[in-house]
Structure 1
Amino acid sequence: MRMKLLVGVAAIALAGCAGKPAPIGGAPGLQVVEGDLPPPTGDDVVGPTISYGVGPFDTLSIDVFGVPELSERKVKVDANGQIEFPLVGTLTVAGLEANEVSALIESRLRGQFVRDPDVTTTVEDTAARSIVVYGQVMQPGVYPVEGKSSLLKSVATARGLSEFANSEDVVVFRTVNGQRMATLYNLEAISRGMYGDPAIYPNDTVVVGESRSRRLFDNLVGAAALIATPLTVLLQTTLD
């Protein structure tokens, strides 16, 4: 009983230390905004024109000259950077330039399917528009932004909150007119309709904080279980 009481006292003391998350901000050049972040400009979203080759969710136009069945085909690159093309099957194209994709398809077609293939590949639509969602979500990562998005939708895309997530500690980082900005959101308040679900734009970063008190409680429950078993054995020995 004494050992169980000590665990309870420790839980109360440590829970007091868990407290609320530290305030955001303090990094050089970062402006903390109260309320909704302003939308980014076109330059903030597009950024400098740099070629990184074909990427996930890009749309390619592939044309095999003189072969109608393989001409003017629109192919979308999947999340793994791969495409499916008739006769040649699955091809990994992530990071390749358009002419390198053409050469790869030509090498697969040559001899076996087409005597001397002439392939032209064009990147018709690039999906460089993406967001980063990390922290206490089930699947942190980089996700494409297709159409309008929101904070709740972005978290749902990352498969929702993890066991130790703090829904009151969600920070969104954004660059507006070259200025790095951040603001704090409360998912619980948004889901209850206390204020609107803010828009999320390409290049935004969403960070979900951790509930330290929730993790602490989980750790203490595990510790109490370890203590309870030998304590029970000790009591039985005393009674005998």
Structure 2
Amino acid sequence: MLNAKSLILLAGIVFQLSACASPQFKDYEVPAPTAEFNAENRSAAEELLARPYPLTVGDKVEVRVYRAPDLSGDHRIDGDGSISLPLIGEVPAAGLSPSDLARNLEYRYGQRYLENPSINVQVTETVRREFSVEGAVRRPGMFTSQPTLTLLDAVALAGGADPETATRKVVVLRRSGGESYVAGFDLTQMQLGQQPNPFVRPGDVVILEGSGPGLDTLDFVRFVPILALFTRL
């Protein structure tokens, strides 16, 4: 188990990577999840795997209300983080996933205007948001995130794993809710459907483990366990 100083240093990696496409690292050991983490925080960690990134100001969404075309349409999230809809007016959208927004709209329309409404929300345009891919890939760098872009998609965007230097491990560093998280995945198991293939969020740092020239500065990833589960740092 790490001491407090080491954990603080590791948490800072997320910010260093987000600011620079070719960051420098020292060796840090990442602890495995504790029993307390598994018992109390597993549902929140699994949510980080399953959900696309939240909506934000400037995103454009398509709202489709089943059997109510007059209530359907395209809406851009304004500076206050809301969209304006017929009958119910301003509705908060920023910070929600598309499915959460859809459930909120069903509740609001169902209160006064529709009986058992069925609503679908899809993102049609997003503001520019980036993530980085580093390590043993052919083209490391910064890439533009999309709502349903997965971890395997991110590796492909970076040219795929370098066959001469890459191992099967890929690590994701993430900031969420003011906290830092890390997760390790096995590329082969994801490709076979034996591990989750999580969505990549803006600000994520994806690192493929490898050995060879220029990869020694990323050596800390070998300490991250392959649990396919985000662990809070």
TM-score bracket, normalised by the shorter chain, equals 0.3 to 0.5
| TM-score, structure 1 as length reference | 0.39
| TM-score, structure 2 as length reference | 0.40
